[in-house]
Amino acid sequence: MTQLLQSITERDHACGPNEAPAVLLEYGDYECPYCGRAHYVVKAMQKHLGPSLQFVFRNFPLPKVHPNAELAAEAAEAAGAQGRFWEMHDALFDNQAELGPALCMMLGRRLELDMPRFVRDLNEHTYRNRVRREFAGGIRSGVYGIPTFFINGVRFENSWDTDDFTRALQLAARRSAASRLDRQATAR
């Protein structure tokens, strides 16, 4: 059982309530076809579990295999600096087959980003260090392939495209909620 070594902080991109009983963290690459498929599985889990799930995404680009992955990660971070991370994240996966500089620019305009700032951030690689820190944190936590998922801080070892994934998230939510209730009862 591999533990997540880099704790989730307020600097992470998180979607869903902070007090959600199940926290799903993904290390992913915007150009990876498996991450592209997993994106839709995660979206279905978010819809299915609602406020019981918080989703966190961390960049783990593999530029030797996916030449546009690092640019895409930097584009998502640059959009995030303008409050539009999740919109860019989703758009990059939705348009994965066209990934590249032209797509990033088109998505920046579509999301109505401050384009001079966005272009400057990409040209100056403003967020490259952040992307690389997330990658290094993944390596320290035992990430060796993508996508890699952690559920409540423990790496999910089974296939994410099976019912096991749904059951593991539901079980994590139930256990976390029960543990929280036990702590509250003990505190009284």
Tens digit of each residue's pLDDT (9 = 90 or more) over 119-148: 999 999 999 999 999 999 999 999 999 999
Q: Do residues 11 and 165 lie in contact, with contact meaning Cβ atoms separated by under 8 Å?
A: no
> Does the pLDDT value for residue 184 go beyond 70?
no
Lowest mean pLDDT among 58-67, 138-147, 166-175: 166-175
Beta bridge partners, 14, equal 56
Give the domain ranges of the chain.
13-187
Work out the angle at residue 31's Cα, subtended by the Cα atoms of residues 81 and 163, and round it to the nearest 5 degrees.
100
pTM of the model: 0.92
> Does the pLDDT value for residue 183 go beyond 70?
no
Task: Using the structure block, give the residue that is written with the tokens 């991450």.
Answer: 35
Select 13-187's CATH number: 1.10.150.120, 3.40.30.10, 2.40.30.110, 2.30.30.90. Answer: 3.40.30.10
> Does the pLDDT value for residue 21 go beyond 80?
yes
Which is more confidently placed, 186 or 116? 116
Question: How far is Cα of residue 162 from the mean position of the Cα atoms in its chain?
Answer: 19
